[in-house]
Amino acid sequence: PAAGKAEVKEILDGERPAARGVPKIKSASRSVPVLGSYDVVVVGGGTGGAPAAIAAARSGAKVLVLEHLYGLGGVGTMGLITSYYWGYRGGFTKEIPGKGDLGTTNAAEFMKGGPDRKASPRFLWNPLERSEWFRREILKAGGEIWYGVAGCGALLEGNRVAGVVVATPQGRGAVLAKIVIDSTGNSDIAAAAGAQTVHTGASELAQQGVGLPFMKLAPGSTNTDFTLTDETDMADVSHLFVYAKEKYADQFDLGQLIDSRERRRIVGDFEMTLLDALNERSYPDTISLAWSNFDTHGYTVDPYLLLDHPERVGFAVKVPYRCLIPKGLDGILVTGLSISAHRDALPLLRMQADIHNQGYAAGLAAATLAKAGQPVRSLDIRALQKKLAALDIVPEGVIGEQDSYPIPDAKVAEAVKRFKEDSSAARIWMAKPESASPLLRNAYREAQTEKDKLTYAMALAVLGDAGGAPTLIAALESQPWDKGWDYKGMGQFGAALSRLDGWIVALGRTRDRRAVPAILKKAAELDANSEFSHHRAVALALEMIAEPSAAPALAALLNKPGMRGYVVKDTAQAAALSGKDRNDNRSRAVSLRELSLARALFRCGDLNGLGKAILEEYAGDLRGHLARHARAVLEDIRQGAPR
Ligand SMILES: Cc1cc2nc3c(=O)[nH]c(=O)nc-3n(C[C@H](O)[C@H](O)[C@H](O)COP(=O)(O)OP(=O)(O)OC[C@H]3O[C@@H](n4cnc5c(N)ncnc54)[C@H](O)[C@@H]3O)c2cc1C
C-alpha cells in the first residue's frame, strides 16, 4: 500500500467518550511516521483476531497483529474464560489444543442436528499454553506480532480503510494495510474510520453483565458477572481495576482483560436480528456457524421476548459475510463481539469456538482480497465457501444456498393460527409483521376463550396495535403482582419479565392512555423490596405512553426509602457498594432501577426537576454505559424529542 494520500481518523473525545466541551490543545501540523506496510493488519489478537492472523498468514499474506496486552487469545486466555461453552468446535477450532470433548466436528453432521450434536461438552485449556500456541502458529506461518501497541485510529482514503493509527510509548504511527481486520471486539478501528456503530444511547440501557476475573496463583477459569463496564471509557476502566482489587482482596491478582460480553458493534451491510438467529435463517454468503443457547446475562429488549423466551435450547445460526462489513466502508472486516447484529442475537453468536472459526474465515477472505487488490464487496463468496467447506468450518450445503427469507405467507398464516398453543410460533409471524397484522386482528376478534383473546391481544400490542388493549387492561386489573425477575450476577437464563410485566410493557407499546390508571395502581404497590423487573416494566410502559399524569407516581416511587442515591462517583463508593461475593451485583441492579425510573419520570414531563436532577448525577457516574445513557436521554429532550 502507498503512504501519503490517506487521512488520519481518530475519535479524540477525551478521557470519557461522551465528554463534551473538554479543552483541546492545538497540535502542530505533523506527519505520522509509517511504521510498516502489510497485506493484512489484524487489530486485537484475541479470540477472533489470532485465528484471523493465522489464516491470512497461512494463505501467504504478509500479516501483522497488533495487540495492546502482552498475550494473545483475548477472553479465553487473558480474560481467564478457559473452557468452551456450546459452540461448533470443528474446522480450525479443532486444531487449537486443550483437553476434553469437542463434540461433532463434521460441519454437515453438526448442521443435521440429531443426537450426535451435543449441547456443550466439556473442553478446557491452560490459558498460558493457549496464548503461547497462538503466538507460535502466527510466527510459524510468517506473521508478525506487536504487543503493547493499541490501534487508536484509521487511515482513510475516501471510504477505504488503508491502514491503522497505532499508539506506542514513542507517540503515534501509521501501519499501512491492504485489508484491516478489526478484531478488537469493540470496533475500535471501524468506529474511528467513521463507521456507524451501535453503542449505549438514549434507548433503554441494556447491557450484558461484565466481569473482571480474579486470578489465583496458578491461573484457571474464573467466570464473573458483577458490573457493567465500557472499555472505551478510561475513567470506567480505571475505577473497575481499582475497586475490583478490593472486592477480590483475598485473591492473588486480577486478570488483565475486562470480560465484557457485549461491546460496541458496527452497523454492517447486513444486521442480524434476534428473529434471524432464532429462525436459523440461511444466507447466500454464510461464512461461519454459531451454536448456543440463550444465556442473556441480564435483561433483553427485543419485543419477541415478551411473547416467548427460548429456555436452554440450542440454535444453530449461520453467519453471513455481510455482518463483517461496516456499511459504507471498504478495506475493513470486523470480527467477534462487534459484528453487525442486534444485542439480543449476540448470546447466540458469541461463543469462543464459533468466533475462532469466524476469525479464520475473515483471515482467509482478507488474504484473498489483499492478493487481488479487490474491494471487500467483490469477494468471490463461492470460492471462499469452498475453502471453508474443505476445512469443515461450514458444511458444503451452504455453497450456493439462497436466503430463506422472506417467509412465505402461508407459513405466516399457519404460525398465527398455531400461536395460541405454541408461543414460539411468534418468531415466524413477527418476521413478517405486515402479513401477520390483519391475521392477528382477525384471530383476536374470533377468539373463543378468554385465554386466546389475551394471547392475541398481547400479539397485537407487541406490534404496537392497541386493538386488544381493553383485554390486557382488564387482565392487569384482575391480577395481583406476580413474582418478578431480579437482576443477578450469572443469572443468565429465563425470561427477564414476569407475565404481568409483559402485559405492562406490551400496553406501553400500544401508547394507549387508557392503560395508565391500571399501570399506576400497580406502580403504587412497588418499593425498594419489589423485584427489579416490576420497576423496569412500569418505567418502560409509562415512558412509552409519556403520560404527564404518571409523573407524580414515578416521583413518589423514587422517593420511597432505599430507592435513591446509587450514583457511583468514586472508587471508594464503588468498593463499598460492591459486595465481596464474586458475582454480587446489587450496585448494578439498584443503579439501573433508579436510572430507569428517573428516565421515565423525565420523559413523562418530570416533577420539580427530580428526574432531570437524577439523570444529571448519572451523567457523571464512573460507569460509562450509565453515564452515556443519562447524557443521551438529557440530550434527546434538549434536541426536541417528544416526551
Ligand atoms: C465473562 C465471560 C464469560 C464467557 N464465558 C464463555 C464460555 O464459558 N465459553 C465460551 O466459549 N465463551 C464464553 N464467553 C464468550 C466469549 O469468550 C467471547 O464472546 C469471545 O471471546 C469474544 O471474542 P472477541 O474476539 O470478540 O474479543 P476478545 O477475545 O476480547 O479479543 C479482543 C482482543 O483485542 C485486543 N484489543 C482490544 N482493543 C484493542 C486495541 N484498540 N488495540 C489493540 N488490541 C486491542 C484485546 O486485548 C483482545 O486481545 C464468555 C465471555 C465473557 C465476557
Q: What is the ipTM of this complex?
A: 0.99
Q: Which of 228-232, 396-400, 486-490 has the lowest mean pLDDT?
A: 486-490
Q: What is the pLDDT of residue 643?
A: 47
Task: Give the Å distance between the CA of 573 and the centre of ligand 1.
Answer: 28
Q: Cα of 184 to ligand 1 centre, how many Å? A: 8
Cell of 529: 423490596
DSSP 169-237: TTEEEEEEEEEEEE-SSS-HHHHHTT--EE-S-SS------EE--EE-SS--------B---TT-HHHH
Indicate whether residue 255 lines ligand 1 (CB < 6 A): no
Ligand 1 in reach of 619 Cβ (< 6 A): no
| C-beta 87 within 6 A of ligand 1 | yes
Calpha distance 430→415 (Å, rounded): 9
Choosing from 9, 47, 492 the residue with most ligand 1 atoms within 8 A of its CB, the one to mutate for a pocket test is: 47
- Look at the alpha carbons of 497, 499, 500, 502 in this order and tell me if their dihedral is positive or negative: positive
Confidence of residue 29 (pLDDT cuts 50, 70, 90): confident
Q: Measure 131 CA to ligand 1 centroid, in angstroms.
A: 13
Q: Summarize the chain as % helix, strand, coil (round to 5).
A: 40, 15, 45
Least confidently predicted of 279-283, 569-573, 601-605: 569-573
Mutation probe of ligand 1 site: the residue of 352, 582, 583 with most atoms within 8 A of C-beta = 352
- Answer whether residue 226 shows pLDDT above 70: yes
Q: What is the DSSP string of 247-273?
A: HTTTSSEE-SS-EES---EE-BSS-B-
Q: Are 463 and 433 in contact (CB under 8 A)?
A: yes
Mean pLDDT of the region 136-163 = 97
- Give the helix/strand (H/E) hosting 302: none
Please tell me the predicted confidence (pLDDT) of residue 107.
Answer: 97
378 Cα–ligand 1 center, Å: 29
pLDDT at 324: 98
* Residue 203 CA: distances (Å) to CA of 265, 301, 374, 544: 16, 10, 38, 11
Strand (E) or helix (H) holding 492: none
Quick check: CB of 213 below 6 Å from ligand 1? no
String of DSSP letters for 572-594? HHHHHHS-SSTT--HHHHHHHHH
Q: Minimum mean pLDDT among 17-26, 189-198, 326-335, 572-581: which range?
A: 17-26
Contact 259, 287 (CB under 8 A): no
The Å distance, Cα 309 to ligand 1 centre, comes to 26
- Tell how far the Cα of 43 is from the centroid of ligand 1, in angstroms: 13
CATH code linked to domain 409-638: 1.25.10
Q: What angle do CA 194, 199, 205 make, to 5 degrees?
A: 160
Question: Residue 185 CA: which ligand 1 atom is closest?
Answer: 26
> How far apart are the C-alpha atoms of 183 and 186, rounded to whole Å?
8
Closest C-alpha to ligand 1, atom 2: 259
The answer to whether 90 touches 230, Cβ cutoff 8 Å, is no
pLDDT above 70 covers what percent of the chain?
97
Residue 347 CA: distances (Å) to CA of 87, 186, 298, 532: 11, 16, 11, 22
The Cα–Cα gap between 2 and 105 comes to 42
- Residue 625 near residue 230 (C-beta atoms within 8 A): yes
When mean pLDDT is compared across 539-548, 573-582, 614-623, the lowest value belongs to 573-582
46 CB less than 6 Å from ligand 1?
Answer: yes
Q: What superfamily does domain 1-14+31-203+323-396 belong to in CATH?
A: FAD/NAD(P)-binding domain (3.50.50.60)
45 lines ligand 1 (CB under 6 A): yes
Nearest to 46 by CA among 172, 179, 138, 162: 138
Residue partners of 178: CB distance under 8 A and separation at least 6: 1, 38, 39, 40, 331, 369, 370, 373
pLDDT band at 385 (very low <50, low <70, confident <90, very high): very high
- In sequence order, the 6+-apart residues with CB closer than 8 A to the CB of 638 are none
Q: Whose CA is nearest to atom 27 of ligand 1?
A: 185
Q: What confidence score (pLDDT) does residue 355 get?
A: 98
Under DSSP, the state recorded for 98 is -
- Ligand 1 centroid to Cα of residue 237, in Å, is 16
CB-CB contact of 202 with 27 (8 Å): no
Euclidean distance between CA atoms 79 and 69, whole angstroms? 11
List Cα–Cα distances, 480 to 11, 451, 470, 513, 559, in angstroms.
50, 17, 18, 21, 23
Tell me, using a 6 A CB cutoff, whether residue 291 lines ligand 1: no
| pLDDT at residue 636 greater than cutoff 90 | no
Fill in the DSSP letter of residue 425. G
> Could you tell me which residue, 393 or 201, shows the higher pLDDT?
393
Among 7-21, 74-88, 383-397, name the one with the lowest average pLDDT: 7-21
pLDDT digits (tens, 9 = 90+) for 176-194: 999 999 999 999 999 999 9
| pLDDT (0 to 100) of residue 405 | 98
**231 C-alpha vs ligand 1 centroid, how far in Å?**
12
* Rounded distance from Cα 19 to ligand 1 centre (Å): 26
Residue 362 parent element (H or E):
helix 352-372
- Test site for ligand 1: of 41, 75, 138, 182, most ligand atoms within 8 A of the Cβ: 75
Report residue 3's pLDDT band, with 50, 70 and 90 as the boundaries.
low
Looking at residue 30, what is its pLDDT?
A: 79
Query: pLDDT, tens digit, for every residue of 76-111?
Result: 999 999 999 999 999 999 999 999 999 999 999 999
Sorted by sequence, the CB contacts under 8 Å of residue 118 that are 6+ apart come out as 101, 103, 104
> Closest ligand 1 atom, CA of 166?
42
Residue 610 near residue 558, CB atoms below 8 Å: yes
Which atom of ligand 1 is nearest to 338's Cα?
26
Query: Which stretch of DSSP H or E encloses residue 20?
Result: none
